[in-house]
Amino acid sequence: NENILQLILPPQRLVCSIVCTPLPWEMYLTTLMIVSIAPAHADVVYPVLIESRSDNSQGSVRVTEDYIVNLEESSVLGENLFFTDTRNGEVTHELMDTAFLRKSVYENSEHAASFTITKTPTGIEMEGYLNFTHGIKPLRINERSGRIPHKIFPLPKLEGEIDLDLPVHKHLNESPEPRADEELPHVWRPKMYIMIDSSINEHLRGIKRLQVLYIVRLMNIVNAIFKTVKVPKINLHLVGIYRFQTKQDESFIVEEDGFIEGHETLDAFGKFTKTTSFARHADFYFLLAGRRLGTRNKHGKISPNILGSAFSGRICMRGTNVGISVEVPLLYTTFINIAHEIGHLLGSTHDGKGPLFHGHPGAEACKPPPSHIMGISSGPPFTFSNCSEKEMEYMLKFRGKKCWKTESYYDFFNVTKEVAGYKNYNQRRSANALIQGCMFQLRCTIAP
């Protein structure tokens, strides 16, 4: 049952419909984060979800007979999440009330893990990350009563350079020097819009529900890396997911012979985000590409030699606050590359490299080894070096309060007036814009 409110906005005669549809998500799907499991456990386990009888507890998961994990709510989500869909030039923005997700998405603040759980008549299916090095997935074999066998497996590693340093002219010093006495927020929550290309959309069968759960699960494990930063404390905030259904909709992607030119696409992607109306503001926009990335060789051909690309220190700078990373669904390994590129956006250079510009601390004092997230080839301990932490702290001061200020009130109608492409009509506020259990859609077409 859909309740439709149609708006006709003169003089452009832009016709928009706001659609409230009861959510079909009341199924037994859960994404959770649990404590790291020791690799000494058997490869095959039978997880069981234990419901909580207390309002103060989120329940737990028994992974093995002697391993029970208490769950906490996911912190990557806010009150709302936008899902932006584009197909053949038509753009749709859906405002999701994340209450249903927050009841399904869990984490453990001390250890890194992220799962999707599906309840079935014969037990639960758990799929995702046990920690930074091991994953878990259900086995399609005979089940024993009430419990489904799962395999624990080591996460593979993608070969190749994570990225290459961009030209120096990309790092323009356009802001005043940060004040030494600038009071930083206790927790920095960079707002991000995650975008998936048509290849990932196809790989995940175009099913929106699967894609949303997949992205939340992925960004939870990325966020677990950033939550290791001490000063400032960093907790990524997912505000939107943007899906390209066809290659025609992602015209900014420079592709030849199935390979994406990373640096040229990054430039074009930045211009795309600058001229596109999003459902809400983000501090950075990040594209997940289901195709290999590369740079041009001396013959002008694209060599697939990188795993990502981003403009260093460009957080909150419209048009250049963008990054790209290879993402291969169900490979469970690209979260490290994503964290690396977001680290660039937040102000980090490669370990061992000099400053971005005068005054920037750089990372020359942190030459590898050991290997950290911002190393050319990152790996354990899956943390940022001291140099990277100082660089991100500097960039937070450098960009100032306009960048890291957290919005205290969010109004659906005020935001969607820009999405509709018409900014001057009467701004109507409504405290009832968010209705529990409903998904809002803004559909816009040009009237004849």
Which CATH code for domain 178-404? Answer: 3.40.390.10
Specify whether the CB–CB gap between 392 and 347 falls below 8 A: yes
Give the per-residue pLDDT at 392: 96
C-beta of residue 341 within 8 angstroms of C-beta of residue 196: no
User: Residue 223 is encoded by which pair of tokens?
Assistant: 């966020």
Spell out the residues 6+ positions from residue 294 whose beta carbon is closer than 8 angstroms to its own.
Answer: 259, 260, 261, 262, 302, 303, 304, 305, 306
DSSP 356-410: SSTT---STT-PSSSP-TTSSS--TT----HHHHHHHHHHHHHH-HHHHPPPS--
CA neighbor of 350 nearest in space, from 324, 385, 321: 385
- What are the average pLDDT values for consecutive 10-residue runs of the chain, which has 448 residues? 40 44 38 36 80 76 80 85 94 88 75 81 86 88 76 81 58 55 84 97 93 93 94 94 97 95 96 94 96 92 92 96 92 90 96 93 89 81 94 93 66 41 31 40 47
358 annotated ligand-binding residue: no
The single-letter DSSP state of residue 419 is H
pLDDT at 152: 87
User: How many angstroms separate the Cα of 334 from the Cα of each of 157, 242, 309?
Assistant: 8, 19, 13
- Both tokens assigned to 346: 């937040």
Q: Has 350 been labeled as part of a binding site?
A: yes
For residue 202, count other CB atoms closer than 10 A to its CB.
13
Nearest to 422 by CA among 410, 413, 434, 409: 413
| pLDDT at res. 51 | 84
CA–CA distances in Å: residue 381 to residues 225, 243, 369, 374: 10, 33, 12, 12
Q: Which of the residues are catalytic?
A: 341
Pairwise CA distance, residues 321 & 299, whole Å: 30
Round to whole Å and give the CA distance between 135 and 37.
Answer: 10
Helix axes 208-226, 335-345, angle to 10 degrees: 60
According to DSSP, the β-strands at 123-129 and 134-138 are antiparallel
At 39 the three-state DSSP class reads coil
The reported pLDDT for the residue numbered 181 is 59
Beta bridge partners of 7: 16
In whole angstroms, how large is the CA radius of gyration of the chain? 22
- How close are the terminal C-alpha atoms of the chain, in Å? 28
Phi-psi group of 266: left, alpha or beta (phi > 0 → left; psi -120 to 50 → alpha; rest → beta): alpha
Flag whether 344 is marked binding.
Answer: yes
CA distances to 107, 291, 318 from 326, in Å = 25, 7, 23
In 3D, which of 132, 114, 123 has the Cα closest to residue 45?
123
